[in-house]
């Protein structure tokens, strides 16, 4: 074995060890946030639990995330970070198709980011999440880009800002940029416990860029980590249909309808920013698959 190969092998082993250790630590904190009364948990446990539950599969875990973040906000109502993550919860509620009032939840998301930025005007997390809300929910393309770029200017290592810039580029910018920006985000957070989420955004970027093989690979990997995540299922369906894999697409559509039996093209477009090219392309895919308009 050459020295270079040996070093490469050690680096991979080290990364795997760090990933495993981080996962074990977070899993322990998350479990505490499930079984312990919220007043007994320290703020770190509440933060980790709130973020982790937000990105878990089940509706009960997702609802628990809001309860945990609101408990954290009661303790630290002058801090931007809990409000920013609560805003992210409302964004995800809309984007995952779980909201019974997308317009109201969209307003709540933006209001929480505005309050966070009132408290900490240079919070790069709040800037990134507000940009994401404006991009995904309100269709304010220029306002979204301004907030995301300001986050990156203040902290070029803010991985979520790069991830959300990739989403912006997939909807309003160039397909090449959305892939490059998602790759930067992944490189900035190589052992992120929310790896499936990074994979979903990158898969969507590859699909928009018509690199369907990579899109399907990443979306499939993401679904193994979180099989109920509707944006991942939609990204996989998009890549399969546009690459002509119709048998596989039928199975993926069945999976999507198991998650949302009432899914329609109108309900998808109501999740926000219906006019973006990315949403219109997926709407076309859904029509090809026979999904009803309303």
Q: Rounded CA gap, 154 and 278, in Å?
A: 28
Conformational region of residue 171, where left means phi above 0, alpha means psi within -120 to 50, and beta covers everything else:
alpha
**Does the pLDDT value for residue 39 go beyond 60?**
no
Which residues are CB-contacts of 144 (< 8 A; sequence separation ≥ 6)? 131, 132, 133, 134, 135, 168, 172
* Token reading at 69: 């973040």
Nearest residue to 167 (alpha-carbon basis) of 151, 149, 182:
182
Query: What does the pLDDT read at residue 13?
Result: 42
Q: Rounded CA gap, 85 and 39, in Å?
A: 19
DSSP string, 49-105: HHHHHHTSSSHHHHHHHHHHHHHHHHH-TT-HHHHHHHHHHHHHHHHTT--S-HHHH
pTM: 0.83
Q: What is the pLDDT of residues 177-217, one digit of tens each?
A: 999 999 999 999 887 778 899 999 999 999 999 999 999 99
| Count of other CB atoms within 10 angstroms of residue 70 | 15
**Does the pLDDT value for residue 57 go beyond 50?**
yes
Query: What does the pLDDT read at residue 85?
Result: 95
According to DSSP, residue 260 is labeled -
Whose tokens are 């329609």? That residue is 264
Q: What is the pLDDT of residues 239-291, one digit of tens each?
A: 999 999 999 999 999 999 998 899 999 999 988 777 888 899 999 999 999 99
Query: What does the pLDDT read at residue 201?
Result: 95
Which residues are CB-contacts of 43 (< 8 A; sequence separation ≥ 6)? 72, 75, 76
CA 8 from chain center: how many Å? 31
Query: What does the pLDDT read at residue 105?
Result: 95
Q: What is the pLDDT of residues 105-133, one digit of tens each?
A: 999 999 999 999 999 999 999 999 999 99
* Token reading at 39: 């007043």
Report whether 172 contacts 164 (CB < 8 A): no
Report the range of poorest mean pLDDT among 16-30, 85-99, 236-250: 16-30
- 3-state secondary structure labels for all residues of 147-215: HHHHHHHHCCCCHHHHHHHHHHHHHHCCHHHHHHHHHHHHHHCCCCCCHHHHHHHHHHHHHHCCCHHHH
Domains in the chain: ranges and CATH: 41-288 (1.25.40.10)
**Does the pLDDT value for residue 56 go beyond 80?**
no
Q: Rounded CA gap, 276 and 52, in Å?
A: 29
**Does the pLDDT value for residue 102 go beyond 70?**
yes
Confidence at 38, pLDDT banded by 50, 70, 90: low
Sign, Cα dihedral of 113, 110, 45, 13: negative
- 186: exposed, middle or buried (Cβ count in 10 Å: 0-12, 13-18, 19+): buried
Confidence at 233, pLDDT banded by 50, 70, 90: very high
């Amino acid at each position: 074995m050459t020295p270079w190969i040996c070093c490469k092998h050690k680096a991979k082993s080290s990364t795997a060890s760090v990933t495993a250790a981080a996962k074990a630590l977070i899993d322990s904190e998350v479990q505490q946030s499930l079984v312990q009364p919220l007043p007994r948990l320290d703020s770190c446990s509440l933060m980790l639990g709130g973020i982790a539950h937000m990105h878990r599969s089940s509706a009960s875990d997702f609802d628990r995330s809001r309860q945990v973040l609101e408990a954290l906000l009661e303790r630290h109502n002058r801090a931007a970070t809990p409000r920013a993550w609560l805003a992210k919860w409302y964004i995800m509620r809309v984007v995952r198709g779980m909201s019974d009032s997308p317009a109201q939840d969209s307003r709540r998301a933006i209001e929480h980011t505005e309050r966070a930025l009132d408290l900490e005007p240079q919070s790069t997390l709040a800037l990134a999440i507000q940009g994401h809300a404006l991009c995904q929910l309100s269709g304010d393309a220029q306002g979204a880009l301004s907030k995301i770029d300001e986050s990156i200017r203040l902290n070029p290592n803010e991985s979520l800002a790069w991830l959300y810039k990739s989403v912006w580029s997939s909807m309003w910018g160039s397909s090449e940029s959305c892939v490059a920006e998602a790759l930067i985000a992944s490189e900035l957070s190589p052992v992120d416990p929310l790896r499936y989420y990074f994979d979903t955004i990158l898969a969507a970027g590859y699909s928009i860029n018509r690199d369907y093989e990579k899109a399907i690979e990443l979306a499939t990997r993401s679904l193994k980590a979180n099989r109920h995540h509707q944006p991942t299922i939609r990204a996989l369906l998009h890549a399969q249909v546009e690459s002509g894999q119709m048998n596989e697409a039928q199975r993926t559509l069945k999976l999507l309808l198991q998650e949302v039996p009432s899914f329609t093209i109108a309900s998808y477009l109501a999740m926000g920013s219906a006019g973006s090219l990315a949403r219109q392309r997926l709407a076309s895919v859904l029509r090809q698959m026979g999904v009803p308009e309303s």
